[in-house]
Every structure is written in C-alpha cells, then in structure tokens.
Amino acid sequence: MRTTPLAAACLSLSALLSCLSNAAFGETRHSLDYQNQSAWKGVLDQAQSPIDIVTSHAQPALDNEPREIALRHLDADGTAEDNGHAVQFNTHATEATIRGRYFRMTQFHMHAPSEHTIDGKHFPLEGHFVFKAQDGRLAVIGVMYEEGDANRGIQEILDDLPTASAKPKTATLDVHSMLPEHLGYHHYLGSLTTPPLTQNVEWYVLRQPVSLSHGQLAVLRRHYKQNNRAIQPLHGRPVIEFGG
C-alpha cells in the first residue's frame, strides 16, 4: 500500500508524540524486566541517611502543621546488648505520639561520632530512639550528645551490658534523662543508617544536645571507636524546622 506524504507525516508525528510521552514518564520498551525485579530502582533510592543539616536552609513548618512529640512510659524495661555494631537497649515499653500519630519504641542505640552533622559539625555521640507504628512505618528520634555532666540513662545501659559469657538481663532505662528539655527538631525523610538501609524513615533530629561524661564516652569508644555512616547527599529533600 502506498503511503501518502500526509499519512507519512501523521505517522512521524504519532511516533514523536509516543516517544515524548514515554520520555515524560521515564519509560522505554526495555525499562521493566519482570524476571529481574530485584534490579528495579524506586523513586526514593536517593533518600538515604544520615545528612548534614544546614540550619540556614531548613524550611519553617507551616503554622497549622501538627508538630508535638509526646513521650510516655519513660522508665522503660528492656535489655542492654552489644549487637555487633552498636551498644543498644531493646524495649517496647516507651510510647510516643509524633505529630498526632502513635508509635511504640523498639530500641535505642548509639553511634560515635554522630552520624548526622549540624552545619557540618559532628558531635561526639548520637543516640537513635527507634519507633514503629502499627502499619510498620518507622520514625527515629536522633539526639546529639556532647561532653559534660554524666548521663544517668547512658550509665544504666553501660552498667547493664552483659559480659561475653553472661546472658542479657532485664533492666530499667531512664529515657527522660537521655532527652533534652526542649524537643524542637529538624525533620526529613530518609533511611536506616545500617543495612538493609530501609527508606521512607521519618527522621526527627532534636536541636538541643544532651550531656554525657568523658568517662562514659571513653567506655563507648572502647566498644566502637567509629561506627557512624558517612554523610549522604540530600538530593533536594526538604528539611523542616519545628520549634520547641
């Protein structure tokens, strides 16, 4: 069948529009291999943690946004352990309402030096309070620690760490002593900082640091002198500042 010039032009235009449409959605004929789905890349593959929080670039929260972090049951029963990459306290006693949603704490662990940086500055220690919602959503409250007075909660963890030959024993952790007086924070979406590096984790990095003693820091460094992940690119993610 003979193709007229007008028909050929229409076919060319149709092909061009099809290509533009595929490009707009990031699709090609070879983009989806259903036999190799483990190689697929999600839209949040670049949303990793930790990050450098540049305070001058943080966006203020909207006036009508829920912002409160409220913690309950701050005398938490659990067990302390050296999990192979961090000193950790496991508990399900502490509950939190974070921006109007309910979470339950799963564990607290420490990284030295800090994983997040504030305006390029590392702190000697960063603690991560890991919370989980009923639907599986993860939220982590990050706390920076600096040298000063001894910290009661950290000392309780150190005192209850079992030796290599002993089994973990139930202990009570004073969570309140490990938190600052004011719970203002920087919030962004990121990931876990250890494998499997799960993404879509809600991060709440508190703005006010808490003290621990030089001796407590020395004991933690004997366990892990450096167990912090490198700073990851922000890739345009917003960092929201909430007062408190």
Region of residue 22 (phi > 0: left; psi between -120 and 50: alpha; otherwise: beta): alpha
Instruction: Quote the CA–CA distance of 176 and 120 in Å, as a whole number.
Output: 28
Clarify whether 85 is annotated catalytic.
Answer: yes
pLDDT score at 25: 38
From 3.10.200.10, 3.30.70.3420, 3.40.50.620, 3.40.120.10, which CATH number describes the 44-242 domain? 3.10.200.10
Residues recorded for the chain: 244
pLDDT score at 14: 45
Reduced to 3 states (helix: H, G, I; strand: E, B; else coil), residue 213 is coil
Q: Which pLDDT tens digit goes with each residue over 126-175?
A: 999 999 999 999 999 999 999 999 999 999 999 999 876 677 788 999 99
pLDDT score at 121: 97
User: Which of the following is catalytic: 57, 85, 176, 214?
Assistant: 85
Q: What are phi and psi of 207, to 5 degrees?
A: -80, -30
Question: Averaged over 164-192, what is the pLDDT?
Answer: 91
Q: Which pLDDT tens digit goes with each residue over 68-116?
A: 999 999 999 999 999 989 999 999 999 999 999 999 999 999 999 999 9
Higher pLDDT, 206 or 197: 206
| Nearest residue to 78 (alpha-carbon basis) of 161, 169, 153 | 169
Task: Name, in order, each residue with C-beta under 8 angstroms of 209's C-beta and a sequence gap of 6 or more.
Answer: 123, 143, 144, 145, 146, 180
- The Cα-based distances of 22 to 15, 31, 90, 108 in angstroms read 11, 10, 48, 46
Instruction: Enumerate the domain spans of the chain.
Output: 44-242
pLDDT score at 5: 46
Q: Which pLDDT tens digit goes with each residue over 21-49?
A: 444 434 334 444 647 866 765 555 789 99
Reduced to 3 states (helix: H, G, I; strand: E, B; else coil), residue 156 is helix
Give just the sign of the alpha carbon dihedral 37, 41, 43, 45.
positive
pTM for this predicted structure: 0.82
Question: Averaged over 172-179, what is the pLDDT?
Answer: 96
Beta bridge partners of 146: 211
